[in-house]
Amino acid sequence: MRKKVILYKAIPLQERKRLDEIFDVTYFDSIDDSNRDAFFTALAETDGIIGSSVEMSSNVLNKAPRLKAASTISVGTDQYDLDYLAKRNIPLMHTPDILNETTADTIFTLIMCTARRAIELSNMVREGRWIKSIGEEQYGTDVHGKTLGIIGMGRIGYAIAKRAHFGFNMPIHYSNRSQNEVAENDLNATYMNMETLLKTSDFICVMAPLTAQTKHLIGEKEFALMKESAIFINGSRGKVIDESALIDALTRGSIRAAGLDVFDIEPLPANSPLCKLDNAVLFPHIGSATAETRLNMVACAVDNLIRALNGDLSKNCANKHLFNR
């Protein structure tokens, strides 16, 4: 008998066909109030689930007593409780490596847009307010040669640092749970505590995963440590920062600007104070959003689920280290 799988996100047809060839698939293009009951009913008999952008709490997964594997179409795993899954010996598969370079491109776009005030000045042109040569009040700031501080020197952090070092001759400061010798050897990166990094960096980029320990990692105290000329970038998860503290820092001018690809609430409400700030560049969570990378992520997630349901956890299992503790 073929295993039963729930697909809870719209994916390219060729990847859906691969699932259909192997599994008995129940498909939801998303989960909302209109289909939540049907989703819960399907969970009761499913062996595997695959998708993204839906919180899969223990209360939800308790409705799936037969569940043997979950595959998220993302590198982040914060939609799942890894400890809960491990207690049930359910592997959570994810898609590391595939999106590193694309996400680093996005983060560096945020760095450039904030430094050169690209969105603000583009709007000035579009709205007919460019009537003379710009003056000092519209000047941006250089990127080359400035110090980049990265909080979370993982795969994506390294890819960002590589661009900064080789492309813009930027000294690299970083804070991480452990030292990254590759970054130190290849990019001359300097390991330091977060307080020192915040005080000394011109650009501060947060790439830490969202965990209980990193929620509101950056708040009022941390923004107060930054230079007034500092530019803050968040490409991790919205809840890693205290958004109200960031809004206050931007409004008071205690930091120069911020570039954000993630937010506390997504989509960002149109009435958010961030939308009124010229010194905030806002992207709609597009870190990995290129056609090539998103297709590769889906293909990887499908491969991951197939392998996991066949008992192969040798690659891309996010919680294998928690099993049988």
Hey, which residues are catalytic here? Answer: 237, 266, 285
156-168 b/e (C-beta count within 10 Å ≥ 16 → b): bbbbbbbbbbeeb
The span from the CA of 214 to the CA of 177, in Å, is 11
- Residue closest to 164 by CA, chosen among 108, 219, 121: 108
Going from the C-alpha of 19 to that of each of 201, 249, 303, the distances in angstroms are 47, 48, 9
Going from the C-alpha of 145 to that of each of 171, 185, 276, the distances in angstroms are 7, 19, 31
What is the spatial order of strands in the sheet that 203-206 belongs to? 190-191, 172-175, 148-151, 203-206, 231-234, 257-260, 280-282
The span from the CA of 217 to the CA of 210, in Å, is 9
* Type of residue at 96: P
